[in-house]
Structure 1
């Protein structure tokens, strides 16, 4: 039973990590909390949903997912990136305001994204037409009931995160992004073309968010509020890891995702203990935030955040 919760936590953590990275990138380089980030995940999910409905399976499958799904995943990543860059050029770049003004603006952008999706697709839940798979047989004796789709989510997220690590550490663009995150003014006077780096930041951050949205739709269901409902959990992960730290966001996303999926175990434990209030799984997000606050009391800058 514990192994099954851990396995589910790993799958959910993979989704949270993808969402957390983009949010942390925007904060570290653009210097504001982007409240439209969750709805950017929804944009990617629905773009992928439409594409998959159009292309179908394309005659083959990997880990139980048709080739067409992976093509749709790439379209979802690209759509989220295009929408984010268009929003940056048309809205954020055009507004002469501070980080608080941009934060409030991003809330309005989130409502616009959500309204457009709801007008087109309605408010009902829907699913990718990939069918359901039975649990992987050789894992069942160990108490782990995960499907090939779950494995596909974890593997795909690992590939994307590894690609981001290589980009940040071993490419010229990655070094420029890290320089801007450390000191944007110094990066500018040093000759770095900061506008170009900022646009790439939107492409990468929103693209990863789009991938997270697609996997969230595969893990659960698609709905116009799916990204928004996850946004506070993603914020908790970013703050826990150290806001502005990409690697801290990865760690925070992993921890928050595991805590969320381990809540049934906590619920069973509290039910078995006398004189202890029952903590049901509906309190998963509240417990995650409580742990975040406890960590911040000890490390105000987050687990991986730098001291100021």
Structure 2
């Protein structure tokens, strides 16, 4: 599904930019392909973050501003695990198997922290969705402060090899894509596919959709909604933790990494249709591609710098919402 969405969006973008490409000649094509490849990798990370944010809104009924810092929690849990396990031994996509163990640790720790936060902070509060939203901002500050206390405020990286682009891909297409970036896209696609199976073909998925549609009716129908809400936190925060680990691999780690990405993730979720998991996937692809394709605008002569990437993504979000206020895919876990 993610691959088909990327292909569709890439075709639209290529068609819109065709005049600029023609002006630059075939020499510009490798550069455009690199922008597209970077967009695919970045979109995979945004999709993982956006799914959890959408799940929380559709089932728990509030915008969780701690979600970005949950991604950071996962990233640093992966860092600690990788440091403990080490990088010796066999590799997969030039990543030591210890990194994949660190990825699982990032998913698990993010899920545990989110569930604990739900039971210790969110559930005892007798407040509405606005109160929970404000509370989640405070939770985000606490997460970030604890990470800063333990790891400092600077940047760090995973202890994995720094790679050159895959030679045969670079020779054939001019795309400078590393094995690490391929791993990000493939693993993210597997996680998204697994979520699709859970939502569409399992009892848990059906109860989650019912709870998102009408929690009171689901409860009187015999659905254990508290178990559904716990599962929602596990799945949403786990995917956020995976997104954080991949964000750390793609760039570098810092205590503000998830917070800096949060508004972009929100833009993707709102664009796709807040409350819709599949809308969050589509919105993540669109926002991620737009973010990495922004340099094309300056390349074809428009006075728009790459630093404006997030602003352009938000402009597109607003334009779409003016035409379709519910977003691309509307509401609901569907």
TM-score category (smaller protein): over 0.9
State the secondary structure of the residue aligned to 2:319.
helix
**Aligned-residue offset at 1:167:** 0.3
Aligned mate of 1:293, from 307, 315, 318: 318
1:91 aligns with 2:121: yes
Aligned mate of 1:230, from 254, 258, 261: 261
- Of 249-258 and 259-268, the range deviating more from structure 2: 259-268
Distance 1:283 1:154 in 2: 25
Spell out structure 1 runs of 4+ moving beyond 6 A. Answer: none
Distance 2:331 2:66 in 1: 26
Q: How many residues align?
A: 301
Distance 1:84 1:258 in 2: 29
**TM-score with structure 1 length normalisation?**
0.96
**TM-score with structure 2 length normalisation?**
0.89
Structure 2 CA distance for partners of 1:267 and 1:177, relative to 1, 3 Å: same
Aligned mate of 1:38, from 61, 68, 78: 68
Structure 2 unaligned blocks of 5 or more: 1-30
CA RMSD of aligned residues (A): 0.9
Deviations 1:215-244 (A, max 9, x none): 000000000000000000000000000000
Indicate the residue corresponding to 1:127 in structure 2.
157
Structure 1 unaligned blocks of 5 or more: none
Distance 1:112 1:182 in 2: 32
* Aligned ranges 1:46-65 → 2 under 5 Å: 46-65=76-95
**Aligned-residue offset at 1:58:** 4.3
Give the conservation status (yes or no) of the 8 Å contact 2:275–2:331.
no
1:160 aligns with 2:198: no
Deviations 1:118-156 (A, max 9, x none): 010001000001021110111113120010000000000
Aligned mate of 1:71, from 95, 101, 104: 101
Indicate the residue corresponding to 1:139 in structure 2.
169
Indicate the residue corresponding to 1:284 in structure 2.
309
